[in-house]
Structure 1
Amino acid sequence: MVVSEIIGYILSSPSAWIVGFLLYVFIFGLSLMVSGPKPSGKNPFSPNCVRTPEPTVHDQKQRDKILKTRFKIDRVPKDLDAIVIGSGPGGLSTAVLLAKAGKKVVVLEQHDQAGGTMHTFHEKGFEFDTGIHYLGDMENSMLRTLIDQLTDGQIVWEKMEEEFDVIAMAQNSKVRLFPRKNCKDKYQADLISKFPKEKEGIEMFFKKMSECRNGFVGLTALKIMPKWLARILIGTGIASLIFPAYVKYSKITLQEVLDSVTSNKELQMLLSYIFGNYGVSPEKAPFLIHAGVMNHYMKGAYYPRGGTSEMAFQMIKIINEHEGRVLVDAPVSQILVNDKGRAYGIRIAKKSGDIDIFAKSIVSDAGLSNTFNKLLPHEIATKSCLYPVYEKVGDSVSYVTTFVGLKGSKEELGLKSQNTWAFYGNDLNEDIRHVQNATVEEITENGLPFLFICFSSAKHSDWHEKNPDKSMALVISVADFKWFEDWDKQKVKHRGDDYEEIKTKIGQKMWEQALKVYPHLEDKVEYFEVGTPVTNKYYLGDPRGEMYGLEHSRRLINDAAINLRPKTDIPGLYLAGQDVMMCGFPPALFMSVLCVSSILHRKLYNDLDKLNKTFKNKNKETAAAGQ
């Protein structure tokens, strides 16, 4: 009776036929993901590689031997399996995994120091980091397991203050401080204590953030499964059944969520303060991205002992140990493609003449824009499905950084291991529009509406061993490339007095604003320099000095979400770095796992997940034994 009823229902319900067929297609597609070509490399992950951290190498000459190995053709390994363009987090992590899988690899960096946003620089006895200012999720997490595998466990993560972020409301002469706690319950309770009438809305906001925790599983799945299957799931709406958090919260903006939970503008600003970590205003930012960043820091924030360059230092050592190389001063001018449309090498532009290097796989960590608008032959690039993605998505916001060297230790200056997000306006959306429409003269006179202020010298215990009686501050804000476009083609450090005057005025105004929060630092400055969007372009290779590669408000749209994946539609060419997923250090590392998976035809994420579970079980056993 039951069987006949089921058959009768199916015959009378065409929609059931459609759903059944689509589910069959989905299961068939998953089977393709599980199967595939025979693996061409060993598992690069191993529990045995993680060892007790060795003392940090402070001697800069020894560090430079690793971080600044200049390109010479005889330093390039023979019979290369892979060439990686760019030595940022995505490029180096891809190279480490390939090297550990038994592949011969070379990483080519256009700058004179490897590391990308992990690199640091030294001036007048001060050391400044350039891109990674803190990380979360470092306790028994998949991210921690991955970083340990990429560095053989040599990075010591030092926990920042319990109140690791402080939001400073500086709209008038009186500055009000709102610390963010490193525990979800404490953070939520603290907000409710400050806004008791908004209790229901605050709880709803945190509930929506929790709903987003698995949202990026859907986005990642779209980049792993066959494109035809991804399009069917999106087009038919089945994706909303399988990946509800991704589909729902990638379409809703942060501002829409804020308006649904509270009309209090000050509370809205406190709930959206961290927007600077992805660079999109609340009215444009997908809530999924904002929630992802907020959730990342729910258990606190960390900074690597020895500074951010320690990560690059350890990764390069591993690449070298596996007969690979990371070579700087190696500006790649072209990706070579044969008459069958396959990428098979690169060309380096040197004053002495062009140099061609060949490999089975080419991995670009240079960003989507550089790869398809600069490095690939035009006739090849325009045929790719990725070519129009850049025009649809565009560049992320650019930025300006003021580097300040301070006289005195963190104890003498009262500096803490925390960041300050200072807001001088009342509406983030309006403030960002103001920056985008302002002239450089208006900025030098009135300042910027928000700043990120941090003291990396207070974040790790090794700082004062290397830099005694000195501290440093970074003051960062969004900027417009057009303010400095006139000097784009001019040689670095030779851009003229007008350029120096304008950037110095902006930096001085930023520091003047920062002193509203830290007035006691006014007479402590020993070093002062300003990095502009054209500075970023020169040192980091960003086409318009942008902070986060591709813009995020349109990065989750269907075509971009599906087509932006490590394996491109150009045979032999792969993408690494933050453009593939979303901005930041963790996404760049995880996309390197998918990139190497495509090259090796091996499900490395499964290998990593298995290893992570092994470590978690071991930690539980250790904890139980200790009790």
Structure 2
Amino acid sequence: MIDNLEVDDMVIGAGLCGLMYGLTAVTEGRSVVISEAHHKVGGYATNFYRNKRKFVFDCSQHKVSGLRENVGNLWNTLKRLELHSLLEEFHLHDEIGTVVYKDQWIKIPSEPDEIKETLIIHFPDEIQGIEQLFKDIESHGYQHYMFFRRLMNEYTINKEILRESRNLSKITARDYFETIFKGKNIIEVLSPIAIYSGSISNEVNAFYFLHCLYAMFYGGQAYVKGTGQHLSDVLLKEFVDRGGIILKKNQVHEMEDCRDYMLVKTRKNVIKAQQVIATCPPEDVLKMLRKEDYIEDFQNVINNFEVGWGHFCVYLVISVPPEEIDIFSPEYLLVSDSGDDFTREDFENDRYYDLFTLSVSNYHRFDPAGGYVLQLVMLDHGDRWFHLLEEEYLTRKQKIQDKFIKRAFKTFPKLEGKIIYSESSTPKTNYKFTLATKGSAFAYKMLPKTNLSLLNNFPNDKIKLVSTWAGGPGYETAMCFGFTQGKLLSKTTKV
């Protein structure tokens, strides 16, 4: 049993948001303890080994936006925290990836002018719509992207476009595409980009999607060698070196408001904190506060949101370098001929796994030391997995894994016969290691009219919801939100 602790800030969860909040708060002079249920930090920014540590698999990190110098929000954040050595370990992609659709292989460069030129070459009849798209990315997308800087009074809203931005937030990205483009093909090439933010074009609101495109096209896409776990470990080391306390394998069970402080009971100890920073799902916070009488009212607030997508991932080790089987790009988006506009019936009957975009990530290109590793990933939802009994679960898991591999063979025929190891994960797997509601990897869905600011008014002012659940999905969002809230809450609560 660890001795009881008394601190300014108690952070629940050592994912990227929690680590960045903790690092920022200790840098501001506050005493901080982070309590993490898992035996390692990082949340989804972690890895695991197989075959006596010969192969290393990254759980999710291969594209981190916002790292272009003097442009990206994440670059700005890491510089302000004086994490210069970490900035040097990010490597900007020279291309976003390749979209494969109806026998077209469209390589998407990393620079916005080159992306626009590529789209015009492939879709010359859509020049007007392409010009409108980039105009909207640079205006509405930029305005949404600067959300965190606005919180810190470092960006002033452009009121001239505010009404149009609000209108865009009320429609889906696919609705928006259909207003600016003449044909379907360019829509099916651009729509899959939404998966990087855990979204589907016929669900995500257009205003948020333009933000994602700005972050990707203008903010700078990068990766960290050593996988996402290396990123998490570096942040943890900085947090501890600057005076923070980390408690692993220490799940939080209950919280009690004692008027002048919060009393937090964990697996190993009791922590007295001036404020609690909850990076876990809001529903879990309410469970920890089950004795409080305001739970039902805030549950009604949470009911306004829909839990977002997790993912099904097939981890592959192959016997030859990926280039030998014609895999050169960092990532391929394999789009079915019908595109991503699937129906609810398709999803319910598993046709979804044949129809929706399948990404093929070339992790060997990011980190050669990890082996000849590929990952096949598709957005998936916990509702399709959590109710299954073990035997049924394993059978279905194998069925979906086989579907993905078969789709990969169709695009990369030389892959057949080269797989020497495979395994897969589902949203249920994600839940086991992260405790995220329904195994979601992307928090709440950013649907039309979604307003995450409703989560800012938690009925107990000693508890702050600081997470992708309250700020929006993605690595960059998690890290920038943690930093921003660490700066703002340290100022408002300092005595």
Do both proteins adopt the same fold according to a TM-score greater than 0.5, normalized to the shorter chain?
Answer: yes
- 1:570 Cα deviation (Å)? 0.9
- Give the structure 1 partner of residue 134 of structure 2: 206
The structure-2 alpha-carbon separation of the partners of 1:165 and 1:537, relative to structure 1 and needing over 3 Å to count, comes to: same
Find the aligned partners of 2:150 and 2:77 in 1 and give their Cα distance. 22
- Give the structure 1 partner of residue 333 of structure 2: 421
- Give the structure 2 partner of residue 28 of structure 1: none
Identity over the aligned pairs, expressed in percent? 18
1:441-479 deviations in whole A, cap 9, x for unaligned? x56xx735321210222114xx32xx4xx2111111122
The runs of 5 or more residues in structure 2 that have no matched partner are none
- Give the structure 2 partner of residue 79 of structure 1: 6
Residues 1:377 and 2:271 are matched in the alignment: no
Find the aligned partners of 2:294 and 2:313 in 1 and give their Cα distance. 33
- Give the structure 1 partner of residue 385 of structure 2: 484
- Give the structure 2 partner of residue 475 of structure 1: 376
- 1:510 Cα deviation (Å)? 0.7
Residues 1:346 and 2:257 are matched in the alignment: no
- 1:134 Cα deviation (Å)? 0.6
Residues 1:316 and 2:236 are matched in the alignment: yes
Residues 1:575 and 2:493 are matched in the alignment: no
Find the aligned partners of 1:387 and 1:486 in 2 and give their Cα distance. 23
CA contact (8 A) 2:15 2:42 kept: yes
Which amino acid is the alignment partner of residue 365 of structure 2?
A: A
Match of 1:122 among 46, 49, 57: 49
Question: Per the alignment, in what secondary structure is the counterpart of residue 410 of structure 2?
Answer: coil
- 1:409 Cα deviation (Å)? 3.6
CA contact (8 A) 1:253 1:286 kept: yes
Find the aligned partners of 2:57 and 2:233 in 1 and give their Cα distance. 16
By relative contact order (CA 8 Å, sep 6+), the higher-ranking structure is: 2
- Give the structure 2 partner of residue 599 of structure 1: 489
1:45-71 deviations in whole A, cap 9, x for unaligned? xxxxxxxxxxxxxxxxxxxxxxxxxxx
Residues 1:391 and 2:391 are matched in the alignment: no
- Give the structure 1 partner of residue 348 of structure 2: 437
CA contact (8 A) 2:316 2:423 kept: yes
Structure with greater proportional strand content: 2
- Give the structure 2 partner of residue 260 of structure 1: 179
Alignment of 1:249-288 (within 5 A): 249-288=168-207
- Give the structure 2 partner of residue 182 of structure 1: 110
Find the aligned partners of 2:197 and 2:468 in 1 and give their Cα distance. 11
Residues 1:112 and 2:45 are matched in the alignment: no
The two structures have a TM-score, normalised by structure 2, of: 0.89
After the TM superposition, which parts of structure 1 deviate over 6 Å for at least 4 consecutive aligned residues?
A: 221-225
- 1:534 Cα deviation (Å)? 0.9
- 1:594 Cα deviation (Å)? 3.1
Match of 2:364 among 446, 457, 475: 457
The structure-2 alpha-carbon separation of the partners of 1:380 and 1:118, relative to structure 1 and needing over 3 Å to count, comes to: farther
CA contact (8 A) 2:142 2:211 kept: no
Question: Per the alignment, in what secondary structure is the counterpart of residue 516 of structure 1?
Answer: helix
Which amino acid is the alignment partner of residue 487 of structure 2?
A: S
Find the aligned partners of 1:433 and 1:423 in 2 and give their Cα distance. 18
Residues 1:325 and 2:245 are matched in the alignment: yes
Residues 1:408 and 2:301 are matched in the alignment: no
Find the aligned partners of 2:317 and 2:261 in 1 and give their Cα distance. 45
- Give the structure 2 partner of residue 229 of structure 1: none
Residues 1:99 and 2:26 are matched in the alignment: yes
Find the aligned partners of 1:511 and 1:381 in 2 and give their Cα distance. 49
- Give the structure 1 partner of residue 277 of structure 2: 363
Which amino acid is the alignment partner of residue 99 of structure 1?
A: V
- Give the structure 1 partner of residue 403 of structure 2: 509
Q: Which has the larger radius of gyration?
A: 1
RMSD, aligned CA: 2.8
Question: Per the alignment, in what secondary structure is the counterpart of residue 79 of structure 1?
Answer: strand
Find the aligned partners of 1:221 and 1:101 in 2 and give their Cα distance. 18
1:96-136 deviations in whole A, cap 9, x for unaligned? 01111222211111122111111111112211111222123
- 1:527 Cα deviation (Å)? 1.7
- 1:413 Cα deviation (Å)? 5.0
CA contact (8 A) 1:84 1:108 kept: yes
- 1:73 Cα deviation (Å)? 1.4
Find the aligned partners of 2:493 and 2:123 in 1 and give their Cα distance. 47
Which amino acid is the alignment partner of residue 545 of structure 1?
A: G
The structure-2 alpha-carbon separation of the partners of 1:86 and 1:381, relative to structure 1 and needing over 3 Å to count, comes to: farther
- Give the structure 2 partner of residue 586 of structure 1: 476
Residues 1:145 and 2:76 are matched in the alignment: yes
Which amino acid is the alignment partner of residue 258 of structure 1?
A: F
Find the aligned partners of 2:162 and 2:180 in 1 and give their Cα distance. 24
The structure-2 alpha-carbon separation of the partners of 1:305 and 1:482, relative to structure 1 and needing over 3 Å to count, comes to: closer
- Give the structure 2 partner of residue 165 of structure 1: 97
The structure-2 alpha-carbon separation of the partners of 1:602 and 1:245, relative to structure 1 and needing over 3 Å to count, comes to: farther
- 1:181 Cα deviation (Å)? 1.6
Find the aligned partners of 2:12 and 2:294 in 1 and give their Cα distance. 17
Question: Per the alignment, in what secondary structure is the counterpart of residue 437 of structure 2?
Answer: coil
Find the aligned partners of 1:203 and 1:437 in 2 and give their Cα distance. 38
CA contact (8 A) 1:87 1:108 kept: yes
Question: Per the alignment, in what secondary structure is the counterpart of residue 217 of structure 2?
Answer: coil
The runs of 5 or more residues in structure 1 that have no matched partner are 1-71, 226-237, 488-494, 605-627
